[in-house]
Amino acid sequence: MTTGTAAITTTELVRRSIEGRRFSPVNALIAFTLLFTLLSSVVILVTLLVDTIAAALPVFATRGFSFITSSLSPRAEAAGIWQGIMGSLALTGFVIAVAFPLGVAAAVYLEEYAPDNRLTRFLNANIRNLAGVPSIVYGILGLFLFVEVFMRGMLGASEGIAGRNVVAGGLTLAVLVLPIMIITTSEALRAVPSGLREASLAVGATRWETIRHHVLPVAVPAILTGSVLTIARAFGESAPLLLAGAQLSLFFTVASDSSFYDLMLTQPYTALPIIVFNFARQPQAEFVALTAASIVVLLVMLLSVNAAAVLARDRYERRYR
Amino acid sequence: MKSRTIHLLGLAVVTAMVVAACDIDAGDSTPSTGAAADTTEAAPDTTEPMEEPTTSAGGGEGGDLSGNIVVSGSSTVEPITARVGEAFDGANPGVATSVEGPGTGDGFARFCAGETDISDASRPISEEEIATCEGAGVEYVELHIATDGLTVMTNPANEAVTCLAYSDLYALLGPESEGFASWSDANELAGELGAPNAPYPEEPLVITAPGEESGTYDSFVELVIADISEERLGEDNDFTRADYNASANDNVIVQGITENPTSLGWVGFAFFEENQAALKAIEVDSGDSGCVAPTTESIASFEYPLSRPLFIYVKTNDVASRPDLTAFVDFYLSDDGLAFVSEAGYVQIPGEDIEATRAAWEDAKG
């Protein structure tokens, strides 16, 4: 009798849990908590955005694009962020030119060539650790290695800005994102099915031919996405640049007859995040609005970079299929 | 196979990215677009071309001057020098000027390392800094360009406090008041000092003030704390209590004061003036002239006891061969240049002081 009932109940339970909508309080609670955490982070983000954009609107309404195209000025009504935009783009150029090839090459070596021995494991562990080092530490490294040793020591730049140039800043940011670049590329390569490599090797392709014709093309979308997001991170960095010599300044100019070479090596520069920081510490209320407006410009630029990453990925994925 | 085209495309995108980046860099360059082809500048020694000013235009605003003027130092003085720099640049587009404000101490560190041409300072150069400059062979001239009043302030809601003497400030902010969480905690110490405005209210004491890297901190310690601490604790005790919210950002200080009804702190006069509605300046009593409130007049006349001079220090080593630097300082000390002092929120120095400053500069420039 009892066993019979139990048997029925068990069967019934299994049947219900398969087809029915059984109400479980624990389940509901967990679902609710998860939804709540999601909503609260969204609410915080939206509040921040709305707050910033609301504060920035008057600037764009009264100044329009002249806010973007003007140079820095201690007078709030004339101050603009053009120098910061240009500086940030130049820095990003260095990050792409240095960190992208180095990072991809290092990752290809680590994933495709390096034997699985102690040294490789040691290197891998260290790259992961380096990716977690706070950016300000890279600023100290940049100040010492690129400004002191490289620019002043090796190139003898002791006058004017004394080696605190955009090349030193760009190299600092490149070194900062290099470990992240290696890690994201490694992940992308690891996601390529090993059957592809084996098939290629089985028909007599060399290792490099396999990588060049089969592994990299499959991994390109993921590599591009990872790289662009990494570069976007460099674009938004301020702390290392403060140390490596970006101008924390309300006013600076470059000589009007500067060549490209001068701009890279002997002339001061700044970056958009640095301008945000500097505007935020000015006494006048007008600069508070300018801070918000600069943040909006920074966000728009970052979002377009990220959108470009998504587009590039979609394009490549389609082509591969 | 498809992989070949994909590989080629990948390469093309990477190349495009790098080229685009280089293009952007080139866009940064004002005069030339195909800048990389400029072979004349390709010599490895990058700094030399900047050092040789092409024309000498005497002391006036030549307009065709060139050079690279680097200014660093006090964030208090920065707004004045930045305005001067901006106006100077309008007339001299060939001169690259950069003005930064990391703090007086940091500024002198760079100045005495020979990295900067002008150091903004909200206090006179210290003994140690003089020694560093001497060691590095940096010669300079000190030029008094404006006056600032350290403004001791609280929240407008704090009606109990209107005036504080040096001894009051020492009791509340000095090295011996570490741990005082309420104004009234300072009563006993204030009694010992004979502070005239004790006892204080039994309200929380929340202090927000500049940090030690700031010349504004140094000035406060020197003017208010140092004499009393030396008498009571001996030499080398000239610092404030360490347990307060220190910030290099004057807006954070102003915010700290407005957010708490019984707050206490100090900033430069310009910051107080910009935020007058949200702050209440506390009158200061030096002991001989009674309570004085900080106003443009009382600061200019040094009647307000926490008035302090603001300086620029100009490197004079190569002043003879630097018409750009000479023209910049000439313009700074002209009536037009000094007019930016009040625009930046500080107090103009009286006529005879201006004459003294100009004389010192004429002397230094030789």
Q: Do A253 and B98 touch (CB under 8 A)?
A: yes
Whole-angstrom CA distances from B258 to B262, B264, B277, B287 are: 9, 10, 10, 28
pLDDT of A5 reads 55
pLDDT of B212 reads 81
Per-residue pLDDT tens over the stretch B20-49: 443 333 333 333 333 333 333 333 333 333
The whole-number average pLDDT for the span B255-282 is 88
Q: Do A74 and B47 touch (CB under 8 A)?
A: no
Which has the higher per-residue pLDDT, A301 or B21? Answer: A301
- CB-side neighbour CA atoms (13 Å) of B134: 7
Nearest CA in chain B to A222: B10
Q: Do B96 and A160 touch (CB under 8 A)?
A: yes
Instruction: Tell me the shortest Cα–Cα distance from B310 to chain A, in angstroms.
Output: 18
Q: Report strand pairing: B118-121 vs B67-73.
A: parallel
Nearest to B94 among A250, A256, A259 (CB): A256
Residues of B in contact with A263 (CB under 8 A): 25, 28-29, 35
The whole-number average pLDDT for the span A211-219 is 91
Preferred mutation among A147, A167, A250, A314 to probe B, highest tally of B CBs within 10 A: A250
pLDDT of A22 reads 64
The string of DSSP letters for A187-245 reads: HHHHTS-HHHHHHHHHTT--HHHHIIIIIHHHHHHHHHHHHHHHHHHHHT--HHHHHHT
Preferred mutation among B15, B29, B66 to probe A, highest tally of A CBs within 10 A: B29
Which of A249-258, B108-117, B140-149 has the least mean pLDDT?
A249-258
| Long-range CB pairs of B31-35, under 8 A, 24+ apart, other chains included | B31/A256, B31/A257, B31/A258, B31/A259, B32/A259, B32/A260, B35/A259, B35/A260, B35/A261, B35/A263
- Backbone angle region of A80, left / alpha / beta, with phi > 0 → left and psi within -120 to 50 → alpha: beta
Is A76 within a domain?
yes
Whole-angstrom CA distances from B36 to A129, A261, A267, B214, B297 are: 38, 7, 16, 43, 57
- Between helix B323-333 and helix B335-343 the angle, nearest 10°, is 60
Is A122 within a domain?
yes
Nearest to A160 among B4, B68, B93 (CB): B68
Burial class (CB in 10 A: 0-12, 13-18, 19+), A201: middle
Task: Give B246's strand partners.
Answer: B209
Nearest to A247 among B30, B98, B249 (CB): B98
Which of A118-122, B138-142, B213-217 has the least mean pLDDT?
B213-217
Per-residue tokens: B355: 């004459």
Per-residue pLDDT tens over the stretch B296-332: 888 888 889 999 899 999 999 988 889 999 999 999 9
Per-residue pLDDT tens over the stretch A129-172: 999 999 999 999 988 888 888 888 777 766 667 778 899 999 99
Preferred mutation among B45, B98, B252 to probe A, highest tally of A CBs within 10 A: B98
Is A4 within a domain?
no
What pLDDT band is residue A20 in, cutting at 50, 70 and 90? Answer: low
Q: Do B274 and A283 touch (CB under 8 A)?
A: yes
Burial class (CB in 10 A: 0-12, 13-18, 19+), B261: middle
Q: pLDDT > 90: what percent of chain A?
A: 48
Among candidates A291, A228, A241, which has minimal Cα distance to A87? Answer: A241
Q: How high is the mean pLDDT of chain A?
A: 87
Chains A & B: contacts with CB separation below 8 Å: 207
Which of A100-114, A159-173, A191-205, B47-61 has the least mean pLDDT?
B47-61
Is A87 within a domain?
yes
pLDDT of B25 reads 38
Preferred mutation among B5, B11, B14, B28 to probe A, highest tally of A CBs within 10 A: B28
Q: Do B4 and A319 touch (CB under 8 A)?
A: no
pLDDT of B36 reads 35
Q: Do B46 and A155 touch (CB under 8 A)?
A: yes
Question: Does position B125 have pLDDT exceeding 90, yes or no?
Answer: yes
3-state helix, strand, coil in chain A (%, to 5): 75, 0, 20
Is A282 within a domain?
yes
Nearest CA in chain B to A249: B100
Q: Do A266 and B51 touch (CB under 8 A)?
A: no
pLDDT of A319 reads 60
The whole-number average pLDDT for the span A202-220 is 91
The whole-number average pLDDT for the span B349-366 is 89
Instruction: Count up the domains in chain A and report the number.
Output: 1
Is A273 within a domain?
yes
The CA distance from B66 to B92, in Å, is: 8
**Domains of chain B, earliest start first:** 56-147+309-365 (3.40.190.10), 151-305 (3.40.190.10)
Q: Do B95 and A284 touch (CB under 8 A)?
A: no
Nearest to B96 among A155, A224, A254 (CB): A254
What pLDDT band is residue A310 in, cutting at 50, 70 and 90? Answer: confident
Q: Do B41 and A100 touch (CB under 8 A)?
A: no
Nearest CA in chain B to A82: B28
Which of B120-124, B235-239, B255-259 has the least mean pLDDT?
B235-239
Q: Do B89 and A214 touch (CB under 8 A)?
A: no
Specify the residue for token string 């702050």.
Answer: B279
Q: One-letter amino acid identity for B121?
A: A
Question: Does position B13 have pLDDT exceeding 60, yes or no?
Answer: no
Q: pLDDT > 70: what percent of chain A?
A: 93
Task: Give B264's strand partners.
Answer: B207
Q: From the CB of residue A305, how many other CB atoms can be counted at a distance below 10 Å?
A: 17
Q: Which domain holds residue A226?
A: 64-320
Is A211 within a domain?
yes
Residues of A in contact with B46 (CB under 8 A): 155-157, 261-262, 265-266
pLDDT of A12 reads 77
Contact status, residue B253 vs residue B267, Cβ threshold 8 Å: yes
Preferred mutation among B17, B18, B252, B346 to probe A, highest tally of A CBs within 10 A: B17
Nearest CA in chain A to B324: A255
Specify the residue for token string 């800043």.
Answer: A169
Per-residue pLDDT tens over the stretch B191-203: 888 888 878 888 8
The CA distance from B19 to B105, in Å, is: 42
Q: What is the H or E stretch that residue A118 is in?
A: helix A118-131
The CATH code of the domain that includes A248 is 1.10.3720.10
Task: Give B285's strand partners.
Answer: B165, B291
Per-residue pLDDT tens over the stretch A55-72: 999 888 888 888 999 888
Instruction: Tell me the shortest Cα–Cα distance from B88 to chain A, in angstroms.
Output: 11
Nearest CA in chain B to A213: B3
Is A58 within a domain?
no
Instruction: Tell me the shortest Cα–Cα distance from B265 to chain A, in angstroms.
Output: 16
- Backbone angle region of B188, left / alpha / beta, with phi > 0 → left and psi within -120 to 50 → alpha: alpha
Question: Does position A94 have pLDDT exceeding 70, yes or no?
Answer: yes
pLDDT of A3 reads 52
